[in-house]
Amino acid sequence: MNVYLFDIDGTLISSGGAGKAALEAALASEFGICHVIDKVQLSGRTDRAILFDLVRHAGLGDAADAWGRLRRAYLRHLPDCLDRSSGRILPGIAEFLASVHGRDDVLLGLLTGNIRDGARIKLGHFGIDHYFTVGGFGDDHLDRDDVAREALREVRRRLSGAICLEQVWVIGDTPLDIRCARAIGARVAAVATGWHTLADLAVHQPDLLLRDFSEFRPLLGD
């Protein structure tokens, strides 16, 4: 069984800045706060870590309560921000999904820093959420390596433990995606469709380095 675990932003889709816009709108509508988000690193991190950093930088007091409020406000704003964005499915993704859809030797999943509901909203907006049946998400973890461990547990559960790590691929666009793949012993394909260049990603020695996902054929092993 070939298992493909995809990052979302910069790998499957470009949201056109919708995620960042939704966070900014959430901070403004829920707390009346602006100009905080640029103080926080977004790329490759979990939503839980990002939201806690925003809470800390904004000085919002009770972190758990503020995190919950900010999360709910973010999810409220996200659909409208996606509607107003210039987001798109990234090159090669639609072709890959179509090529493996229905195959009984392929399992598609997510390994994303997005919270589960945010991932569903983003992928649903682009009509590709139904392809992914397992995953690890950024609801409970600050560290992306822990998201990878969650994703692998879900894969093992789905396959009743029958899994060969040589057939598990993590696909992402950041060095953190490469690192988390190594943390679970999976192979990794790095794709330069996000913020990081081919040269940036090459330093971290992925198993496969792609300019964009239209070059996906080597992953199929057909």
* Averaged pLDDT, 154-160: 95
Rounded CA-CA distance 182/44 in Å is 15
Q: Which residue has the tokens 């070059």?
A: 215
Structure confidence at residue 63 as a pLDDT band (50, 70, 90): low
* Averaged pLDDT, 168-179: 96
Whether the pLDDT of residue 192 is over 70: the answer is yes
Rounded CA-CA distance 50/211 in Å is 27
User: How do residues 122-154 score in pLDDT, each as one tens digit?
Assistant: 999 999 999 999 999 999 888 999 999 999 999
Rounded CA-CA distance 57/169 in Å is 36
Q: Which of 179, 195, 177, 182 is nearest to 90 (CA)?
A: 195
- Residue 53 has a pLDDT of 82
Assess contact for 7 and 173: CB atoms under 8 A. Answer: yes
Rounded CA-CA distance 52/69 in Å is 11
Sequence-separated (6 or more) residues with CB below 8 Å from residue 98: none
Is 42 or 78 the better-scoring residue by pLDDT? Answer: 78
Structure confidence at residue 87 as a pLDDT band (50, 70, 90): very high
Instruction: Give the rounded percent of residues in the chain with a pLDDT score beyond 70.
Output: 98
Q: Is 99 helix (H, G, I), strand (E, B) or coil?
A: helix
65 phi and psi, to 5 degrees?
-65, -45
- Residue 159 has a pLDDT of 94
From residue 167, alpha-carbon distances to 71, 76, 88, 216, 217 in Å are 35, 38, 29, 15, 15
